[in-house]
Amino acid sequence: MLNKPENDSAIILLIRHGATDANLQRPYILQGRNLNGPLSQTGIEQVSSAGQFLSTFPLDHVYASPMIRAQQSAELIARHHGHPVKTIDEIIEVDVGDWESKSWDSIMQEDPEQYRQFMANPAEVPYKAGESYRDVQDRVVPAITRLAANHPGEMVAVVAHNVVNRAILAHLLALDLNRAKDIRQNNACVNILRYKQDKLELITLNAVFHLKDI
């Protein structure tokens, strides 16, 4: 368990939502902001386990992306603390454009050149008719930083998405944004961020020990 932060700092628990059917199917399909389905049964179990793990943490607030999978995940965490789930529009998942609901195999076949360009430079080359990693980072990093600054002395859970989390974590790690897609973010993982002296830093990355039995 983490202790409540001092009044000059804040703790952000950045969590990826639980698995959906799209996450679990093989080959999996891209799930941006238009494929807006609920958690699968496995996803419910994953987030329930995360919620139980976090039940003893002194959480003051629970926030989430507006997507159903994030809201549902946040509610399973918030119910242990009696908090309402608040929405942060800026942390909605990446817009994957024309590649929504498609597998990478089909994308390689249908759009080989766009696929090649994206994989070589995802920081600047967008998903076809969608967003790039830079687009995502430019909207999510300021939103998370503002949130942390607005909650001194508090611990806040934020349920977001794979690409959103990767963009934030790449920034905190000072990692080339083209390498952000290599950052592992398991469904229902927990990342711990600390905000102090106007600076956000990463403490723990992709913690999943609460998921060992799922």
Domains of the chain, residue spans? 9-211
**DSSP bridge pairs for 201:** 194
pLDDT band at 140 (very low <50, low <70, confident <90, very high): very high
Check residues 213 and 56 and name the one with the higher pLDDT.
56
pLDDT of residue 97: 98
Extract the tokens encoding 50.
């995360």
d(CA 41, CA 67): 17
Q: Please provide the average confidence, as pLDDT, over all residues in the chain.
A: 97
Instruction: Give, to the nearest 10 degrees, the angle between helix 41-53 and helix 68-78.
Output: 40
List for the chain the helix, strand, coil content (%; round to 5): 40, 15, 40
pLDDT of residue 7: 92
> Which class does domain 9-211 fall in?
alpha beta
pLDDT at 1 over 80: no
pLDDT at 108 over 90: yes
Average pLDDT rounded to a whole number, residues 116-120? 98
User: Exposed, middle or buried: residue 70 (CB in 10 Å: 0-12, 13-18, 19+)?
Assistant: buried
pLDDT at 122 over 80: yes
Extract the tokens encoding 117.
């360009």
pLDDT of residue 201: 97
pLDDT band at 214 (very low <50, low <70, confident <90, very high): confident
Among the ranges given (22-31, 141-150, 177-186, 198-207), the one the predictor scored with the smallest mean pLDDT: 22-31
d(CA 67, CA 194): 25
Average pLDDT rounded to a whole number, residues 49-53? 97
